[in-house]
Amino acid sequence: MKLSFRWYGEEDKVTLEQIRQIPGMRSIVTAVYDVPPGEVWSRESIQRLKSLTEQAGLSFDVIESVPVHEDIKLGLPTRERYLENYCENIRRLGEAGVKCICYNFMPVFDWTRTQLDHPLGDGSTSLVYYQEQVDKVNPLQSESDLTLPGWDSSYTREGLRDVVEKYQSITEEKLWENLRYFLQKVIPVAAQYDINMAIHQDDPCWSIFGLPRIVTGEKELDKLLSLVDDPHNGLTLCCGSLGCSAKNDVPKLAAKYAKMGRIHFVHLRNVQILPNGFEERAHLSSCGSLDMYAIVKGLVENGFDGYVRPDHGRMIWGETGRPGYGLYDRALGAAYINGLFEAAQKELAAKK
């Protein structure tokens, strides 16, 4: 397992020096943030991230994310230009030594929550999703004031309505076709540079606002991997995204796809499933619905050797900053992940 940590670049309040002091830390997970989705990243920006990371004694080998332009997901004729740009980004990142690229194929909205600072019983705050609050929002009505935290703020209300409207004719089947088209273009380029493409599951793993969402569970992941049957077409196993639905047996999925050699990156975090949604909790198994040790055992026993990062943390100890991405609780998560992997590895060695 290669322990990694997400870093939002020079703007991030969490510094590389702090990240480096987390025991076992190896890789930085980052991206070029000053370029709109779909455009080519400059070699200078990539190089700057690489040298800052390496000067701090860490490795620059995981990107999260290279965003997929909406025109690619919508299958518009203009997608050709964006696909070419995507491939060019893969080439440039490959030249800089990147080994793994995380991305998602969610229409319009990336992860969706209804509150980013919900107080938990212990005085910490975390991100939550309550269905009744989502149901009150209709992005097709631009006159409504309701928005959800985490929405891409570069959209105006009208811009958001327009892009949501474009999806009204996109069925799940059509979205699958567009995903296949994307993979058929990018996977050969990734293979040439030996970069693993690692798709992130839809978060949450169900349709929202009537938009199609297709990367949601086992059947869908099987289909995705078979669309282009190449190990470079793989997964970011996001435990929280899959685990917020009881239909997904995350330890089983971890074991299955690790055995197939198709998990390249793991986001480890715990969630508490509720009748009306879910709450993000501390990483520890007993704090939520997921058996984190069973997930890690599933990975270790099936030869997983990819990147792992603690995922969203709560805000604790008075820390303020980017919701989900403070230092303290993610560092606690990393320490816990180290412990789980050490135990699973020793348990496995003892069996041999």
Provide the annotated active-site residues. 200, 238, 267, 311-312, 325
Quickly count helices (H) and strands (E) in the chain: 12, 12
Residue 323 CB, shortest distance to ligand DNO, in Å, is 9
Residue 149 CB, shortest distance to ligand DNO, in Å, is 12
**Cα 137 to Cα 134: distance, rounded to the nearest angstrom:** 6
Stretch that binds ligand DNO, among 17-25, 77-85, 104-112, 296-304 (CB under 6 A): 104-112
What number of residues does the chain have? 352
In this complex, which beta carbon is closest to ligand DNO, that of residue 111 or of residue 278? Answer: 111
65 near ligand DNO, judged by CB under 6 A: yes
12 near ligand DNO, judged by CB under 6 A: no
Among 32, 102, 244, 344, binds ligand DNO (CB under 6 A): 102
200 near ligand DNO, judged by CB under 6 A: yes
Residue 29 CB, shortest distance to ligand DNO, in Å, is 9
- The token duo for 119 is 């107080």
In this complex, which beta carbon is closest to ligand DNO, that of residue 104 or of residue 272? Answer: 104
> Radius of gyration of the chain from Cα atoms?
19
Report the DSSP pairing between strands 125-130 and 277-280.
antiparallel
Tokens 């540079």 identify what position?
193
Residue 322 neighbours by CB distance under 10 Å:
14
Q: What is the b/e burial string over 301-314, where b = at least 16 CB atoms within 10 angstroms of the residue's CB?
A: bbebebbbbbbbbb
**Cα 86 to Cα 109: distance, rounded to the nearest angstrom:** 19
**Cα 266 to Cα 212: distance, rounded to the nearest angstrom:** 24
The H-or-E segment that residue 339 falls in is helix 328-351
Strand ranges inside 56-163, DSSP E: 59-64, 100-103, 115-119, 125-130
Give me the 108-147 binding string for ligand DNO, x by CB under 6 A, dash otherwise. --xx------------------------------------
Stretch that binds ligand DNO, among 32-40, 98-106, 211-219, 270-278 (CB under 6 A): 98-106
Residue 221 CB, shortest distance to ligand DNO, in Å, is 15
**Cα 335 to Cα 308: distance, rounded to the nearest angstrom:** 12
Stretch that binds ligand DNO, among 50-58, 97-105, 248-256, 282-290 (CB under 6 A): 97-105
64 near ligand DNO, judged by CB under 6 A: yes
Give me the 300-339 binding string for ligand DNO, x by CB under 6 A, dash otherwise. ------------x-----------x---------------
- The token duo for 299 is 């990975």
Report the DSSP pairing between strands 263-268 and 196-200.
unpaired
- The token duo for 30 is 């980052």
341 near ligand DNO, judged by CB under 6 A: no
Residue 95 CB, shortest distance to ligand DNO, in Å, is 22
Among 103, 278, 304, 336, binds ligand DNO (CB under 6 A): 103
Binding site for ligand DNO (CB under 6 A): 64-65, 102-104, 110-111, 200, 267, 312, 324
